[in-house]
Structure 1
Amino acid sequence: MVTIEEALRIIEDQKITLNRETKPLEASLSHALATNTASPFDVPEFDNSAMDGYALGGLYQEYQLVGEVAAGDSKDIVLQDGEAVRIFTGAKVPQNTSAVMMQEKTSVKERTLFLDEKPKAGQNIRKKGGQLVEGQAVFEKGHMLNPPSLALMGSLGLSTLEVFSKPRVNIITTGNELVKPGESKTEGQIYESNSYAIAGALRQFGFHHHQKIQLRDDLEATKAGVETALNSCDVLIISGGISVGDYDFVKQSLEENGVDELFYKVFQKPGKPLYFGRKQNQFVFALPGNPASSLTCFYVYVLPLLQKLSGYQEYGLPTYQFPIKHPYENRFGRPSFLKAAVIDGKVEVLDGQGSSMIQSMAKGNALAFVEDGEKFKEGDLMKCKLIS
């Protein structure tokens, strides 16, 4: 058995090989860049108007209107002193523009423009290179592409990006008692839910499963299922069958499929019977079958490895500290990840902490971490990982 810190360090220390691929811009969300990126030109490429209004030649309160410039116009206008043109947001400002006045502070009579106030030099003009200059670093290798990142890359004219490939993930669930939702069940059976939780958590963080396999508690079937799953994935996530019961065949099946154990069992609650192994460049997590345990282990242990394999600069859910709304003492006898809700900057430990109880986890948005025997008074800071 290992501690939480030892388990995380073993995962962190795994040597990996990152694969690269070129993807269309629109398909690059949540991928990590495989190269450093610099701006190929100034952004903006030209001085332009920050709003709809009037481009002004000189700083006065009365001008002669001489034309109009719309966004995208390529005509080259030179303003003389005392002249103005109607201009629209994003349009290139004419040469000799001193300022742009928003239209709400103007009035026009015939061809004369009147301003409600005197303009200030340079106001409402987006200057060439004001955001980026040619050659300036934009993103470093490993930057995870979010929607604003895609917008910026698109503004640089990049239609494809070189990114790190994401790991292929397969999911196995085990249990004679499990029935797929929508099918009929008999007394003693339950509907299978862990694969849906794991697949949803994968999508939540930009990953996808390649294959889902459901197995009965049978040694030969489990061995064959593991072999099949390993043929088409980089990371295999197994739910259930990893404890020490008479019908728990996962650990033996992994050994017989050539998977080397890196750790088994973590001193924590929930999720003590957690397994992590490796077969060459493939990784296997065998998670406990109880729903809350399974999902907790995904957030704490599986997610950091998936992000590491994807070339992210940072991985794992960040830890924050929030004042607790009520007294609390950890009496579980182990360091614990607690289902919690962070609301208005304060954390509440929820009822229903049993490892089989998923309802409280569904209503919460955080995992609070407490050491064995740790006590909290109202207002004390508690460590939390936000999961939604």
Structure 2
Amino acid sequence: MIGVDEALSRIAGALPELPAETIATRDALGRVLAAKARTAHPLPLFDQSAVDGYAVRHADVQRVPVTLPLSTTVAASAQAARARLAPGTAARIFTGGLLPLDADTVVRQELTRRKADAVTILKAVAPGTDLRRQGEELAKGSVVAAAGARVTPGLLAALALAGAHQVQVRRQPRIAVLISGDEVVPHGAPLKLGQVPDANGPLIGAQLAQWGVPPSSIDYVADREDAVRTALASAFERADLVLSSGGVSVGDFDFIPSVAEKLGAERLLWKVAQKPGMPLYVARRGASLLFGLPGNPASVLVNLQVYVRDALERMLGRDPRARWRHAIAPARLHREQEKTFWLRAIVSADAQGQLRLETLSGQASHMLGNLARANALVRVPGMNEAERVDTLRWLSLYD
């Protein structure tokens, strides 16, 4: 049995690489950039007004009040040609309007008084006031976002404004999910005596969808060696990641490890010194990585959050270490002697703004009821680990 960090290291060293693909920026929400995204033109695109007001030559408004005739009006719209501002005149201009040639200042309308075709400037302003200069934010060819950035609505808007009509992103991972167990019945199906409704399929599917990588399939597999073989062989052929639940312990019907290896999979690890989720099995076959998750729902949750999410982030070119945060430990803390304990908890800020952890009841591996309140999965070092426990590392269950 190996420790959590060793398990993470072994998985990181065996991950399949996801290729890059080019897609339209409008379709990139939630995807991860595979290369730097650059501006196709400067931002702002041209010299423009930052307010509704009047474009002037600063030399004409150094002494106020001063009245200037209006020579033109510039709306925020397409222009046949760039207007030129004659000396001793002003141009009515609106927010985003193209600054006339020879204008070097904008006086916002709150500082003026308009009468017919003339405007009186009532207050002096500094040269260059309320202008947005071409390229002052980003020059043409500047980096808008680095490789590994996830495309949020804000980044998508920035890419659109920067003229990036296409972006390079990592291909979405293909994920196949296998739910084993003759006692497990798909959600919503009638139950017979001795059967239980499936929680793992909905849990895995929802968790992956929340991360932006929904599974391509969720299949139910009987506790027979031939059924497991058929399901695993098919999943290996079509998926980058294969996630199974159940069938990885030492029972007579736990076929996942043995069948995977008969199919040519190379074992990376089996059993991690952690609770819950100890009988985790991970193997690689060709370009596919198999995560054999234990059958208890809390064990599935732990291994999804800690190992599967770590693998997904790395495959997409992101640093999974950024997910980990710190909070002050509770006064009373349950610890295992030689295992990392994964605690479902509530993290909240105290009156001083410090993050603190609140433990919840119902921490057994078959229990999920406390997830209605929990927002964090907390790493509690074993008694044999030389780590401080006044502050603890944790993962958000909702990021």
Q: How high is the TM-score relative to the length of structure 1?
A: 0.91
Question: What is the Cα deviation at residue 134 of structure 1?
Answer: 2.2
SS at match of 1:231: helix
Kept in 2, the 8 Å contact 1:292–1:357? The answer is yes
Q: Which moved more, 1:70-79 or 1:165-174?
A: 70-79
- The question of 1:280 aligning with 2:290 is answered no
Q: Which moved more, 1:146-155 or 1:259-268?
A: 146-155
CA distance in 2, matches of 1:135, 1:182: 54
CA distance in 1, matches of 2:250, 2:331: 36
Q: Which moved more, 1:133-142 or 1:178-187?
A: 133-142
- The question of 1:321 aligning with 2:326 is answered yes
- The question of 1:330 aligning with 2:334 is answered yes
- Residues 35 and 382 from structure 1, CA distance in 2 versus in 1: closer, same or farther, beyond 3 angstroms? closer
- Residues 158 and 372 from structure 1, CA distance in 2 versus in 1: closer, same or farther, beyond 3 angstroms? same
- The question of 1:5 aligning with 2:5 is answered yes
CA distance in 2, matches of 1:317, 1:383: 12
Show the counterpart of 1:19: 19
- Residues 351 and 82 from structure 1, CA distance in 2 versus in 1: closer, same or farther, beyond 3 angstroms? farther
Q: Which moved more, 1:230-239 or 1:128-137?
A: 128-137
CA distance in 2, matches of 1:10, 1:287: 16
AA matched with 1:362: A
CA distance in 2, matches of 1:204, 1:51: 40
From 211, 217, 220, the equivalent of 2:217 is 211
SS at match of 1:170: strand
Q: Which moved more, 1:146-155 or 1:285-294?
A: 146-155
CA distance in 2, matches of 1:98, 1:374: 70
Q: Which moved more, 1:139-148 or 1:299-308?
A: 139-148
Show the counterpart of 2:345: 340
AA matched with 2:364: G
Kept in 2, the 8 Å contact 1:299–1:317? The answer is no
SS at match of 1:329: coil
Show the counterpart of 1:354: 364
CA distance in 1, matches of 2:212, 2:126: 47
- The question of 1:133 aligning with 2:154 is answered no
After superposition, the CA RMSD in angstroms is 2.3
Identity across the alignment (%): 31
AA matched with 1:7: A
Kept in 2, the 8 Å contact 1:30–1:145? The answer is yes
From 180, 195, 205, the equivalent of 1:199 is 205
Q: Which moved more, 1:33-42 or 1:229-238?
A: 33-42
Matches within 5 A, 1:64-83: 64-74=69-79, 75-83=81-89
Please list every run of 5 or more consecutive structure 2 residues that lacks an aligned counterpart in the other structure: 350-354
How far does the alpha carbon of each residue in 1:276-332 deviate from its partner, in whole angstroms, 9 at most, with x for none?
10001110001111112101111110112122222x2423562111224x4122233
SS at match of 1:22: strand
From 106, 117, 131, the equivalent of 1:100 is 106
How far does the alpha carbon of each residue in 1:74-114 deviate from its partner, in whole angstroms, 9 at most, with x for none?
23222234432222222211122232233344432223324
- The question of 1:34 aligning with 2:23 is answered no
SS at match of 1:203: helix
SS at match of 2:303: helix
Show the counterpart of 2:93: 87
Show the counterpart of 2:391: 381
Kept in 2, the 8 Å contact 1:329–1:373? The answer is no
Show the counterpart of 1:189: 195
- Residues 346 and 79 from structure 1, CA distance in 2 versus in 1: closer, same or farther, beyond 3 angstroms? farther
AA matched with 1:68: T
Aligned residue pairs total 383
CA distance in 2, matches of 1:308, 1:208: 17
From 229, 236, 258, the equivalent of 1:230 is 236
Kept in 2, the 8 Å contact 1:330–1:372? The answer is no
Kept in 2, the 8 Å contact 1:307–1:316? The answer is no
Kept in 2, the 8 Å contact 1:290–1:355? The answer is yes
AA matched with 1:335: T
How far does the alpha carbon of each residue in 1:174-230 deviate from its partner, in whole angstroms, 9 at most, with x for none?
111211222211232221121111111112222121111111222221121111222
Kept in 2, the 8 Å contact 1:276–1:286? The answer is yes
- Residues 234 and 123 from structure 1, CA distance in 2 versus in 1: closer, same or farther, beyond 3 angstroms? same
SS at match of 1:153: helix
AA matched with 1:45: L
- Residues 200 and 317 from structure 1, CA distance in 2 versus in 1: closer, same or farther, beyond 3 angstroms? farther
Question: What is the Cα deviation at residue 169 of structure 1?
Answer: 0.4
Show the counterpart of 2:265: 259
SS at match of 1:121: coil
CA distance in 1, matches of 2:247, 2:327: 36
CA distance in 2, matches of 1:355, 1:86: 70
- Residues 83 and 187 from structure 1, CA distance in 2 versus in 1: closer, same or farther, beyond 3 angstroms? farther
Question: What is the Cα deviation at residue 163 of structure 1?
Answer: 2.1
Q: Which moved more, 1:235-244 or 1:49-58?
A: 49-58
